């Protein structure tokens, strides 16, 4: 154990001092070249599992499908979980990077390759410095965050029963913003999200005889238009809500009126009561428009992937933010405020266990300086962000991202 006067921040610097930037870049670029979609992360999981075994972890693979869990017991003490997600997105990369994706139509457009790199090197650094801490470190490579089912699948596969119960859980996410900072928000940091699937029934027929049909395309179009009033007229201006129609599918030929139309919606909310109010409004509008159109059957409205809000333990977040401030200097920690983005990170955490989740901004310095706007919020909208085919985190955040995780773990394990 370290002397009492040694802080977790200074210890984290010592523990990671031997890491070589080239080694971090090699793993990151390899992962970026070989992205894998949700629940297909076999290569990524294999690489993580191999590195963890080599570092001395007891490794379990196939948790929740393609999940990886590494456990390192190192004497008595607290249990800390570190989590990183592994999956990529169905996005065609246009960054022009020398290490761009080699998989057609698939890209690490959300930075999960960065997350796996951080997790791997943090685990290895902590394993190599066992003499500085005591307790149990659990490293989790989670599948399918993007699909919304990865955390649930791991929990359903016994994550909470098969592995040591944590005293604290930590995670982080790469994000747009000036590289060199860390973004902490106590309490609510990410919103709840729901995917809604709507089927609008109609009566199909020939395009020359619309009077013999019930056109679901027209009805669905009215639904899309009317849904725009939910946020603007049914929700208080002080409530943060986003309702997006991201899918509209109907028909096969221009001269055939289809027998149904399908809509895909995405809802983001930060309050449980507001969520229920919006869901009720969506159902009311869909049913009302279908009734007005004379649809032959009631519409179908179902909820698909669903993410809860991510709510940091305020005290733990304050402690980790202070640690990161000590790591990187005064002014290095900022607060983005609650984001409308969503995560399934909190679903991994057993009930009653405190957790902390933060962002690591990663926009290259030249791109950030060239971005239009004066305010932070304006500039963030002007640079490539997560899910963009142009998203390319700056490599300068590789080592700092390892240190943020190592520092958080040591805050508990070396106390």
Q: Which domains are present in the chain?
A: 8-190+309-413 (3.40.630.10), 193-307 (3.30.70.360)
Q: For residue 72, list its beta bridge partners.
A: 137
- The label of the residue with tokens 């016994």 reads 158
| Whether residue 4 has pLDDT greater than 60 | no
Out of 36, 41, 85, 145, which one is annotated catalytic?
145
Given a contact cutoff of 8 angstroms between Cβ atoms, the answer to whether 320 and 12 are in contact is no
CA distances from 236 to 6, 128, 230, 241 (A): 49, 53, 10, 9
Percent of the chain whose pLDDT exceeds 90: 94
Q: What is the mean predicted confidence (pLDDT) over 271-281?
A: 97
pLDDT 10s digits, 283-329: 999 999 999 999 999 999 999 989 999 999 999 999 999 999 999 99
| Whether residue 78 has pLDDT greater than 90 | yes
Q: Quick one: pLDDT band at residue 281, thresholds 50, 70, 90?
A: very high
Whole-number Å distance between alpha carbons of 148 and 303: 12
Report the predicted TM-score, pTM, of the whole model to 2 decimal places.
Answer: 0.92
- Tell me which DSSP letter residue 105 carries: T
Q: Tell me, what's the pLDDT at 326?
A: 96
Q: What is the mean predicted confidence (pLDDT) over 388-412?
A: 98
Q: What is the mean predicted confidence (pLDDT) over 81-107?
A: 98
Range in 139-148, 375-384, 388-397 the model is least confident about = 375-384
Q: What is the mean predicted confidence (pLDDT) over 375-382?
A: 86
Q: Which two tokens stand for residue 241?
A: 């809500």
Look up 317 and say whether it is catalytic.
Answer: no
Given a contact cutoff of 8 angstroms between Cβ atoms, the answer to whether 317 and 185 are in contact is yes
Given a contact cutoff of 8 angstroms between Cβ atoms, the answer to whether 92 and 379 are in contact is no
Q: Tell me, what's the pLDDT at 276?
A: 97
Q: Tell me, what's the pLDDT at 374?
A: 76
E strand intervals along 14-87: 58-63, 67-74, 79-85
| Whether residue 64 has pLDDT greater than 90 | yes
Range in 84-93, 112-121, 220-229, 379-388 the model is least confident about = 379-388
Whole-number Å distance between alpha carbons of 382 and 375: 11
Q: Tell me, what's the pLDDT at 373?
A: 83
Out of 85, 87, 215, 356, which one is annotated catalytic?
87
Given a contact cutoff of 8 angstroms between Cβ atoms, the answer to whether 193 and 379 are in contact is no
Given a contact cutoff of 8 angstroms between Cβ atoms, the answer to whether 103 and 40 are in contact is no
3-class DSSP string for 154-220 = HHHCCHHHHCCCCCEEEEEEEEEEECCCEECCCCEEECEEEEEEEEEECECEECCCHHHCECHHHHH
Look up 300 and say whether it is catalytic.
Answer: no
Whole-number Å distance between alpha carbons of 175 and 178: 9
Q: Quick one: pLDDT band at residue 206, thresholds 50, 70, 90?
A: very high
Given a contact cutoff of 8 angstroms between Cβ atoms, the answer to whether 176 and 362 are in contact is yes
Q: Quick one: pLDDT band at residue 6, thresholds 50, 70, 90?
A: low
Mean pLDDT of the chain: 96
| Whether residue 106 has pLDDT greater than 50 | yes
Given a contact cutoff of 8 angstroms between Cβ atoms, the answer to whether 310 and 117 are in contact is no
Q: Tell me, what's the pLDDT at 376?
A: 84
Whole-number Å distance between alpha carbons of 34 and 341: 25
Q: What is the mean predicted confidence (pLDDT) over 134-149?
A: 96
Q: Quick one: pLDDT band at residue 375, thresholds 50, 70, 90?
A: confident
Q: Tell me, what's the pLDDT at 275?
A: 97
Q: Quick one: pLDDT band at residue 360, thresholds 50, 70, 90?
A: very high
Range in 6-15, 126-135, 196-205, 256-265 the model is least confident about = 6-15
47: helix, strand or coil: helix
| Whether residue 3 has pLDDT greater than 60 | no
């Amino acid at each position: 154990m370290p002397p009492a006067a040694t802080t977790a921040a200074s210890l984290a610097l010592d523990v990671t001092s031997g890491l070589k930037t080239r080694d971090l870049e090699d793993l990151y670029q390899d992962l970026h070249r070989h992205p894998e979609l949700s629940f297909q992360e076999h290569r990524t999981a294999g690489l993580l599992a191999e590195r963890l075994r080599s570092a001395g972890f007891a490794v379990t693979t196939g948790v929740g499908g393609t999940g990886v869990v590494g456990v390192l017991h190192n004497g008595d003490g607290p249990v800390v979980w570190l989590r990183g997600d592994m999956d990529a997105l169905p996005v065609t990369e246009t960054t022009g990077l020398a290490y761009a994706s080699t998989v057609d139509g698939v890209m690490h457009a959300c930075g999960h390759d960065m997350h796996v790199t951080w997790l791997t090197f943090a685990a290895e650094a902590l394993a190599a410095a066992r003499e500085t801490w005591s307790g149990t470190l659990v490293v989790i490579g989670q599948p399918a965050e993007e699909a919304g089912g990865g955390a649930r699948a791991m929990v359903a596969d016994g994550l909470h029963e098969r592995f040591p119960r944590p005293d604290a859980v930590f995670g982080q996410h790469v994000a747009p913003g000036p590289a060199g900072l860390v973004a902490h928000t106590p309490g609510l940091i990410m919103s709840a999200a729901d995917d809604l699937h709507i089927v609008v029934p109609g009566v199909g027929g020939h395009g020359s005889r619309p009077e013999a049909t019930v056109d679901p395309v027209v009805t669905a179009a009215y639904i899309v238009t009317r849904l725009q009033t939910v946020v603007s007229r049914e929700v208080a201006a002080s409530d943060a809500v986003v309702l997006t129609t991201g899918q509209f599918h109907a028909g096969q030929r221009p001269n055939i009126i289809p027998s149904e139309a399908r809509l895909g919606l995405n809802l983001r909310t930060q309050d449980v009561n507001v969520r229920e109010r919006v869901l009720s409004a969506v159902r009311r509008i869909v049913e009302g428009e279908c009734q007005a159109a004379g649809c032959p059957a009631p519409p179908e409205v179902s909820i698909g992937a669903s993410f809860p809000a991510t709510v940091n333990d305020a005290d733990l977040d304050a402690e980790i933010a202070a640690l990161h401030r000590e790591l990187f200097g005064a002014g290095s920690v900022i607060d983005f405020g609650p984001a409308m983005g969503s995560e399934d990170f909190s679903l991994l955490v057993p009930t009653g266990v405190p957790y902390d989740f933060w962002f690591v901004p990663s926009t290259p310095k030249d791109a950030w300086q060239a971005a239009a706007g004066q305010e932070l919020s304006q500039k963030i909208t002007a640079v490539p962000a997560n899910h963009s085919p142009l998203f390319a985190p700056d490599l300068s955040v590789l080592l700092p991202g390892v240190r943020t995780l190592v520092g958080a773990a040591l805050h508990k394990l070396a106390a």
